[in-house]
Structure 1
Amino acid sequence: MMNKKFSWKNDHWIKPYLAQYKWNFLLAIFLGVIMFFCGGALMFYAGYTIDKAATRPENILMIYVPIVLMRAVGIGRPLFRYLERLVSHNWILRVTSSLRRRLFYIAERNTSAVGSSFQTGSILSLLTDDIGHLQNLYLRTIFPAILSYLVGFFVVILLGLFSWPLAGAIAILLVAELVLVPFFSLLKQAAVRTKEKEEKAQLYTEFTDQVLGAGDWKISGRRDAFFNQTKETLKSLGQHEKKSGKFDWARDFGLEFIFGLMAVALLYFTNQTLTNNQEAANYVGAVVLALFPLSDAFIPVGQGIEEWHTYSDSVKHLNELKVPENRLPAQQYLDPAFAGTLRVSDISFTYPKEDYPIIQNFSLTLKRGQKAALIGPSGAGKSTILQLILGDLKPNQGTVTLDHLNVLKLQRERSKLFSVLNQEPFLFNTTIYENLKMANSDATTDQMMEILEKVQLADFVNSLPKKLDTEVAEAGARFSGGQKERLALARVLLQDTPIVLLDEPTVGLDPLTEQKLLNLVFEVLKNKTVVWVTHHLQGVKYMNEVLFFKDGKVTMQGNPHDLFKHNEHFHQLYLMDQGLI
């Protein structure tokens, strides 16, 4: 009956955590059952006490015991309710914490400093929507359903001790209440809920276009189209939500009606069997009243099971995630202080499901302190080479070695051997001090200020009221593009690795700022081995070697000074890049 997009057999995001935290889960279920028992017992003793008191007992002590029991279960109900919520929420927080750690692990294994298998939107969707939906799946569907089935089972057994015909009638009504109506609701609402999700996704896209494209809409003069773009989608979504609301009202009314039939059945059987004498008649109201607190266990099941349509896609998305296999060879140690020659030997690489190699027979050798620039258009494979050098990708052919050790054997020491300066360095929403501290946890304040002096940020930081304790704001909003790159460069210097990979760190900067930053970068990195990915020739004078890429192949290679003198094509390209011709 479930959505065909999901298979319990192949699930590895729900069942494993039910098993891992089963004792917390079972304790929450037990406390929930006891809480409902206390609720029913409270109404039972209250009803009995009222009936007994109405018959004018000879002595107040005749109703003292039920009064004491009523007070006890009256205290027990909120107490066990509190404990059940405490345990169940502790359980679900443990589960979702494990889910998020697992998702971050998968993302980390698929993400590198120069490339990612995920889009930003998909990761945010998984972290916010899908994990949140999985949390609600536990709290609003799985937990209430199991709790209600257990409570219903005990109700039938207890009534069976009193009257099996009554237990049979209640069991039939419970099957309708807890199974037939919820699953009919699930099937009936499948198409409507699917349509609602599609329209909400479409609406999200339309609103994104409106917000991000507002300036273009205004300039085009199509203001009316701008405001009318989402009207049809909103109207259709409103109609479907109205239809869903009507169905939900009808379903809940049906569930309440079935619950009312249980009360009528209980009232009928108790009047048939408990009215032979006054003492027995005192239990009639008590038994019927004990049923009503159980509505809180039975009624929510219909809504919870219907919401499977909301959760099923999220479960499917998560189950589609694959944990990358750890195929790294035995790890070895290389002292960063003595790391020497980086050698890329005849490597070729093809992405999965692609028909052609993005890198073909590429080789590069850099001794310690030497620098190379990889130049070419977007999609030529330059950033892929950085991923191969880092060990994020494994070449289909050839090897990448550092002092004759395959970089795949140095992944445990990678952060001590390689550092990366991206075109979009990320600054965390914390202080400048903490953003620098992540590069080197042992760095002192004096060391940080010394590095900031080298990257020409010390005066700016000292001018701030809180200096190093200044918040950088979300994504480094407080800083300009050039300042972000300088702060990221400071992190690279604090990390102090022998090899630095530059992935177009000056893209998006104006020419003057770009040239100043390049001068600074290669001044402070003059003793480091550098592999620099760039799209033009500004700054190649600092390089020992430049390599031009096209369609995954090196089309021109050599020392930039020699190429300028002896290669006419390079000579012309350099002059054009500098705006001299």
Structure 2
Amino acid sequence: MIGEITVGALLAFIQLLNHVVWPFSGLAQVWGTTQESLSACERIFRVLKEKRQFTSFPEALAAFQESNHISVDKVSFSYDEGNRKILNDISLEVKENQFVAIVGHNGSGKSTIFKLLLGFFPYSGMIKINNKNTNEMTYGELMQYFSFVSQDQYLFSGTVLENIRYGNLQATETEIKTLLKNLKFDDLINHLPNGLAIEVGEGGSGLSGGQRQKISIARAILRDAPIFLFDEATSALDYQSEEQIQEVLLNFKNERITLVIAHKASTIKQVDYIIVLDKGEIRAKGSHNELMNKDAYYRDLYKEYAAGETV
């Protein structure tokens, strides 16, 4: 009858109407995604236009070529002009064979010191490595001095073996396996399906935080640079694994400089020298025993670290 519709026809109409309306309702989402993509393209093209500073990955210098020494002289830094200084008039010296910890509360400027050593940001003052002003080096020359492990592990799509080998592209699989055994990282060989040949995703997807850290540490040690920088490099490891890493670093410190940023009492007690930061300034320097005897701020900080390990 005229003006009537069957239930089946009504359902069919509603289904067809959805097909007509959906493209229009999806336009807003497509438009938003397009804008995000355009912004990402701008950033990508900006990076691609940057002048290339070196055409191949800089090999680490042999540690014995020269006596290693870091000098930081009255260095200050803020992310934006006029803002609060992240570092204020920092001066320190680190010599060959020293195992040094930088400690302090969050936001005190510990990681920023590493970023400036690595040439990530401009700063006021002077940083010298082996009496050479780092501002006068190319980025490739500067990178020859460092093996760096950050709080965030940067792994690439490929096998575990390939990710470790980025530290030294000439290293053989046998050399890498020997290094892992010396580091007591045998689980990367024995406990992973296919061992070092296992494929991992971008960023190390499919691996635990501890496994990613072990790969990053092995890669840095394989690089064998004159200066090791470890920024909370063992935060995801259990106590036993951390002890093994500290033992290796102590054995490696000859003819090298090892700088660690630490929040663990067990790490701090192992080092030769400690630099205490507070609100971007150096509050105290010395050995663990010296600082425990003379500096109340360090004593309280150490107690916080120790309490955190026993929780």
Q: What interval of TM-score do these two structures reach, taking the shorter chain for normalisation?
A: 0.7 to 0.9
Deviations 1:108-141 (A, max 9, x none): xxxxxxxxxxxxxxxxxxxxxxxxxxxxxxxxxx
Instruction: Give the structure 1 partner of residue 286 of structure 2.
Output: 558
Q: 1:403 aligns with which of 130, 147, 162?
A: 130
Q: How does 1:127-146 map to 2 (within 5 A)?
A: none
Distance in 1 (CA, whole Å) between partners of 2:162 and 2:283 is 44
1:322 to partner: Cα distance: 5.1
Q: How does 1:151-190 map to 2 (within 5 A)?
A: none
- The answer to whether the aligner puts 1:428 opposite 2:156 as a matched pair is yes
Q: Is the 8 A contact 1:419 1:499 kept in 2?
A: yes
Q: Secondary structure at the match of 1:427?
A: coil
Q: Is the 8 A contact 1:416 1:495 kept in 2?
A: no
Q: Is the alpha carbon distance of 1:449 and 1:316 closer, same or farther for their aligned partners in structure 2, counting shifts above 3 Å?
A: closer
1:350 to partner: Cα distance: 1.5
- The answer to whether the aligner puts 1:546 opposite 2:274 as a matched pair is yes
Instruction: Give the structure 2 partner of residue 381 of structure 1.
Output: 109
> TM-score of the superposition, structure 2-length normalised?
0.74
Instruction: Provide the aligned length of Structure 1 versus Structure 2.
Output: 277
More strand by share: 2
Instruction: Give the structure 1 partner of residue 219 of structure 2.
Output: 491
1:378 to partner: Cα distance: 2.1
Distance in 1 (CA, whole Å) between partners of 2:276 and 2:292 is 14
Q: Is the 8 A contact 1:482 1:513 kept in 2?
A: no
Q: Secondary structure at the match of 2:215?
A: helix
Structure 1: which 5+ residue stretches go unaligned? 1-237, 246-306
Distance in 1 (CA, whole Å) between partners of 2:196 and 2:264 is 35
Q: Secondary structure at the match of 1:357?
A: coil
Q: Secondary structure at the match of 2:269?
A: helix
Q: 2:86 aligns with which of 334, 339, 358?
A: 358
Instruction: Give the structure 2 partner of residue 345 of structure 1.
Output: 73
Q: Is the alpha carbon distance of 1:537 and 1:346 closer, same or farther for their aligned partners in structure 2, counting shifts above 3 Å?
A: farther
Q: Secondary structure at the match of 2:91?
A: strand
1:241 alignment partner AA: F
1:523 to partner: Cα distance: 3.6
Q: How does 1:232-243 map to 2 (within 5 A)?
A: 241-242=24-25
Q: 1:535 aligns with which of 263, 270, 284?
A: 263
Instruction: Give the structure 2 partner of residue 138 of structure 1.
Output: none
- The answer to whether the aligner puts 1:522 opposite 2:305 as a matched pair is no
Deviations 1:36-82 (A, max 9, x none): xxxxxxxxxxxxxxxxxxxxxxxxxxxxxxxxxxxxxxxxxxxxxxx
Q: Is the 8 A contact 1:432 1:470 kept in 2?
A: yes
Q: Secondary structure at the match of 1:492?
A: helix
Q: Is the alpha carbon distance of 1:517 and 1:421 closer, same or farther for their aligned partners in structure 2, counting shifts above 3 Å?
A: farther
2:278 alignment partner AA: K
1:550 to partner: Cα distance: 2.1
Query: Which of the pair has more CA radius of gyration?
Result: 1
Q: Is the 8 A contact 2:156 2:200 kept in 1?
A: yes
> TM-score of the superposition, structure 1-length normalised?
0.42
Q: Secondary structure at the match of 1:453?
A: helix
Q: Is the 8 A contact 2:188 2:196 kept in 1?
A: no
Distance in 2 (CA, whole Å) between partners of 1:334 and 1:435 is 21
Instruction: Give the structure 1 partner of residue 14 of structure 2.
Output: none
Distance in 1 (CA, whole Å) between partners of 2:193 and 2:172 is 20
Q: Is the 8 A contact 1:374 1:531 kept in 2?
A: yes
Q: Is the alpha carbon distance of 1:355 and 1:367 closer, same or farther for their aligned partners in structure 2, counting shifts above 3 Å?
A: same
1:350 alignment partner AA: S
Q: Secondary structure at the match of 2:265?
A: coil
Q: Is the 8 A contact 2:188 2:211 kept in 1?
A: no
Distance in 1 (CA, whole Å) between partners of 2:203 and 2:94 is 34
Distance in 2 (CA, whole Å) between partners of 1:308 and 1:242 is 11
Q: Is the 8 A contact 2:99 2:250 kept in 1?
A: no
- The answer to whether the aligner puts 1:441 opposite 2:224 as a matched pair is no
Distance in 1 (CA, whole Å) between partners of 2:127 and 2:216 is 26
Distance in 2 (CA, whole Å) between partners of 1:508 and 1:430 is 22
RMSD: 3.6
Instruction: Give the structure 2 partner of residue 480 of structure 1.
Output: 208
1:342 to partner: Cα distance: 1.0
Q: Is the 8 A contact 1:416 1:496 kept in 2?
A: no
Q: Is the 8 A contact 2:160 2:198 kept in 1?
A: yes
Distance in 1 (CA, whole Å) between partners of 2:289 and 2:154 is 35
More helix by share: 1
Q: Is the alpha carbon distance of 1:310 and 1:389 closer, same or farther for their aligned partners in structure 2, counting shifts above 3 Å?
A: closer
Q: Secondary structure at the match of 1:507?
A: coil
The structure, 1 or 2, with the larger RCO (C-alpha pairs under 8 Å, 6+ apart) is 2
Q: Is the alpha carbon distance of 1:433 and 1:566 closer, same or farther for their aligned partners in structure 2, counting shifts above 3 Å?
A: same
Q: Secondary structure at the match of 1:539?
A: helix
Q: Secondary structure at the match of 2:158?
A: coil
Q: Is the 8 A contact 1:455 1:486 kept in 2?
A: no
